Amino acid sequence: MNSTEQNARAEQREIDASVKWPVLVFLGSGLLWLLLGGVFQLAATIQLHTPTFLADCAWFTHGRLAPAAQNALVYGWGMNAAFAFGLWLMARLSATTLRHGGWLFVAAKFWNLGITLGIGGILAGYSTSFELLEMPRYVGLLLLVAYAIIGVWMVTTFSIRNTENVYASQWYLFGAAFWFPWLYSIAQMMLIRTPVRGVLQAVVNAWYLQGLYGLWFASIALAAIYYFLPKLLGKPIHNYYLAPLAFWWFVVATALAGGSRLIGAPVPVWIPTFGIVASMMLALPLIIFCLNFLGTLAGRYGAVGGSLSLRFMVLSIAGFLLSSALGLLLSLRGFAAIAQFTLLAGLRDWLMFYACFSTAVFGAAYFFLPRVTGKQWRSTALIQAHFGATALGIVLMIVCLGAAGWQQGHLLNDPAVKFAEITRGLAGWHTFTSAVLGVLLIGHVAFLINFIWIACPINSQGTAAAQIAPPPALGLAAKEGHA
Amino acid sequence: MKNGLILFLGVFATMVLSWAGVVLAANKQIGTLPQFKDPVDESLNPQPYSGVANQGRAVYQDLGCATCHTQQIRYGDDGADIKRGWGERASYVRDYLRDETTHIGQSRLGPDLRNLAKRLPSGAEAEYLYKLLYAPDSKLGGEPLARGMPAYRFLFEERAITGNQPSYKAIKLPSSHAAPAGFEIVPTPRAEALVAYLRSLADTYDYPTERGLNAPAEVPKEGGKEAPKEGGKEAPKGGGH
């Protein structure tokens, strides 16, 4: 190891140390929400096949519990996890320490206070009933202020970068840092503060959902994939020169594709049509992503088994491609006529949020937690359990929701079938979904236990100081600098 | 891409483009859509909800009914909404002007409710809905009233009968779900509001100017952005039944 490399390694350790506490706080709160949201989601799914379950308590009626679960998962787990990972990766790639991280604790406090009040508000009956904006109006401002601090830290870390080049992951992180507050504040204004009239509310809601999944969660996951594939495989991204084209094409088309969620809806017909065209335009960046990711993986699949983070990244790539493919299918009118309003339509967002985004963060966490804490994972068995449960859960969920949704759509389109028959036919699938959610929950508990062991400053007994093997040398062209 | 400023401008432009192209353009087109004045009887349509029904809309919202129920009828080619008898025509933009908050819904674990009022047993609408909310599993011709739907008993109050006869508000229940002797089940004001709302869910007026607006794109000329075909080929039907 020559002295340049030693310097680089010392610099990385310094960066990792500077983000340690913000990362642990965000990820820790995220994991608690992941568990709570998972329990809520499981309970809400049980209600679908056993409607009497918790039905007599107004707080836990299905119409409140299901959105509460969704919000806990998306804003509690998803956003916190994205903050933790995004701040770490931005500091690493910008080759600069995270300055004045104390403010981020304030932000974390307010963010999680906001989510707590919001989930409580939904359960108590103050829901707005707009998908993923159900949290009552008093929460919006709190979340935006908390986010502002986090977003500013993300952007300033980028702007004081010590690197010549800006890597693909940074484009996505930088973009996401701006898109979320704009999307959220516009949606809050147009739906809750000064609501627009009639079906325009549905248009704003669809536009927001598309942005949240496509521009925020997908962006964070893509940032992770672009970072970890070359890092862990020791080879540059295949056809990297296409990545800027994919970035711009992907974000513009995604931002415009919101209307594709409104096929057949009572809105002026150009809105879904425009959305369909934008969705179809996504085919090109998808091809480039395939070239970039699968091309980099090509011939190195043997290496995937050896790296836990890589295994999660491969899941994430699969989740991203499947979710995008399903999005394309759902924007075909013929397919939408069957799949719209069924469990299959819900699968698209679940895949993007869970199979793509969450697995990317899991994979990243297995990489960065030992580095920021300087400790090793304590239990290999729990790691295996987590990965196994996640992989199995994702496969089963795809099979289950896919088959159930397809069946549901065909039955719905057959006017001779009574509605009660459809519900009866779905009951078995709902039971299956509950079991799959249970499997995923086991994985999350395993991860949480390991997280507590590695993150807890006391009780480090048995946790050896990490001997982190240097990642494989990157045969990179000079212009693709990685911190 | 090395230049942070260019990256920022691109990111900003993406958001502006998306907001202006989708949300603002839609707002420009239908944001100020007025009620439609019937040329014959000069009624304004859609007619607003009654005060109680509007309160019921808030109950519908806070209970999250939209989690499982849609309120939109798609055109004939998109699914079997009309064939299922959920509506006589597809929903129009103008139908939703009376909804202070619009919940068209994204999941059909339950049936569509846009025209629920038209499917209720005539003469016993409220009675049916109260029974549905309190005891969805009560049998009707051997089948549960609504399979898979949770009961909303917290919208009702079980109380002792005062005097020698039950309150006129007490709901009628089959013996399997009846209150114990000496007690009665009475809807709370929230249940009354919700039922008033559900009973007013019906798009009864057919707007002649509205038909083209969200019809499927037969002639793809920048998708119906232009004013819909006017000319009143069909005289508007009178509102209400």
The answer to whether A342 faces chain B, any CB pair under 8 Å, is yes
In chain B, which residues have their Cβ closer than 8 Å to the Cβ of A218?
none
The answer to whether B108 faces chain A, any CB pair under 8 Å, is yes
CB contact under 8 A, B26 and A268: yes
Give ∠ CA A398-A400-A404 in degrees, rounded to 5: 120
CB contact under 8 A, A195 and B99: no
CB contact under 8 A, A178 and B223: no
pLDDT more than 70, % of chain B: 87
Predicted TM-score (pTM) of this structure: 0.92
- Select the residue from B29, B89, B109 to test the A interface by mutation, using most A Cβ atoms within 10 A: B109
**pLDDT for position A302:** 85
The answer to whether A203 faces chain B, any CB pair under 8 Å, is yes
**pLDDT for position A476:** 46
The answer to whether residue A469 scores a pLDDT higher than 90 is no
CB contact under 8 A, A333 and B92: no
The answer to whether residue A478 scores a pLDDT higher than 60 is no
Query: 3-class secondary structure for A267-286?
Result: CCCHHHHHHHHHHHHCHHHH
CB contact under 8 A, A203 and B8: no
Question: What is the overall mean pLDDT for chain A?
Answer: 92
For B116-161, the pLDDT digits (tens) are 999 999 888 999 999 999 999 888 777 888 889 999 999 999 999 9
Residues 6+ apart with CB under 8 A from B77: A333, A337, B216
- Cα separation, B46 vs B59, in Å, equals 21
**pLDDT for position B193:** 97
- Looking at CA atoms only, how far is residue B215 from chain A in angstroms? 7
- Cα separation, A219 vs A239, in Å, equals 19
The answer to whether A101 faces chain B, any CB pair under 8 Å, is no
The answer to whether A113 faces chain B, any CB pair under 8 Å, is no
The closest alpha carbon to A173, from A184, A157, A162, belongs to A157
For A281-325, the pLDDT digits (tens) are 999 999 999 999 999 999 888 888 888 999 999 999 999 999 999
The phi and psi torsions of B140 (rounded to 5 degrees) equal: -135, 105
**pLDDT for position A299:** 86
- B151 near B108, Cβ under 8 Å? no
The answer to whether A152 faces chain B, any CB pair under 8 Å, is no
Instruction: Find the residue in A nearest to B28 (Cα).
Output: A200
The residue type at A202: A
The answer to whether B6 faces chain A, any CB pair under 8 Å, is no
Kindly state the helix (H) or strand (E) to which residue A397 belongs, with its residue range: helix A380-412
Task: Note which residues in 119-148 of chain A have CB less than 8 A from chain B.
Answer: 122, 125-131, 134
Q: Which of B14, B94, B144 faces A255 most closely, judged by CB atoms?
A: B14
**pLDDT for position B238:** 37
Average of pLDDT values for A403-410? 95
Residues 6+ apart with CB under 8 A from A152: none
The answer to whether B188 faces chain A, any CB pair under 8 Å, is no
CB contact under 8 A, A255 and B220: no
The answer to whether A337 faces chain B, any CB pair under 8 Å, is yes
Band of pLDDT at residue B232, cut at 50, 70 and 90? very low
Q: Which of B84, B85, B152 faces A61 most closely, judged by CB atoms?
A: B152
The closest alpha carbon to A343, from A48, A40, A55, belongs to A48
- Looking at CA atoms only, how far is residue A453 from chain B in angstroms? 38
**pLDDT for position B225:** 45
Band of pLDDT at residue B79, cut at 50, 70 and 90? confident
In chain A, which residues have their Cβ closer than 8 Å to the Cβ of B222?
270
Predicted complex ipTM: 0.91
User: Comparing A164-173, B15-24, B158-167, B211-220, which segment has the lowest mean pLDDT?
Assistant: B211-220
- Looking at CA atoms only, how far is residue A365 from chain B in angstroms? 27
CB contact under 8 A, B27 and A200: yes
Question: What is the overall mean pLDDT for chain B?
Answer: 85
**pLDDT for position A39:** 97
For A209-256, the pLDDT digits (tens) are 999 999 999 999 999 999 999 999 999 999 999 999 999 999 999 999
**pLDDT for position B215:** 63
The answer to whether B190 faces chain A, any CB pair under 8 Å, is no
Does residue B46 have a cis peptide bond before it, meaning omega lies within 30 degrees of 0? yes
The answer to whether B233 faces chain A, any CB pair under 8 Å, is no
CA-atom Rg of chain B in angstroms = 23
The answer to whether residue A272 scores a pLDDT higher than 60 is yes
The answer to whether residue A133 scores a pLDDT higher than 80 is yes
**pLDDT for position A456:** 83
For A341-370, the pLDDT digits (tens) are 999 999 999 999 999 999 999 999 999 999
CB contact under 8 A, A415 and B79: no
The answer to whether A192 faces chain B, any CB pair under 8 Å, is no
Band of pLDDT at residue A89, cut at 50, 70 and 90? very high
Instruction: Find the residue in A nearest to B5 (Cα).
Output: A159
The answer to whether B4 faces chain A, any CB pair under 8 Å, is yes
The answer to whether B107 faces chain A, any CB pair under 8 Å, is yes
CB contact under 8 A, A265 and B111: no
Q: Which of A61, A199, A346 faces B63 most closely, judged by CB atoms?
A: A61
For B183-223, the pLDDT digits (tens) are 999 999 999 999 999 999 998 888 887 766 556 655 554 54
- Looking at CA atoms only, how far is residue A64 from chain B in angstroms? 6
CB contact under 8 A, B33 and A197: yes
Other beta carbons within 10 Å of A436:
22
- Looking at CA atoms only, how far is residue B98 from chain A in angstroms? 7
Give the number of beta-carbon pairs within 8 Å between A and B.
255
Could you tell me the sign of the dihedral formed by the alpha carbons of A471, A476, A481, B2, in that order?
negative
CB contact under 8 A, B17 and A255: yes
The answer to whether A341 faces chain B, any CB pair under 8 Å, is yes
The answer to whether B158 faces chain A, any CB pair under 8 Å, is no
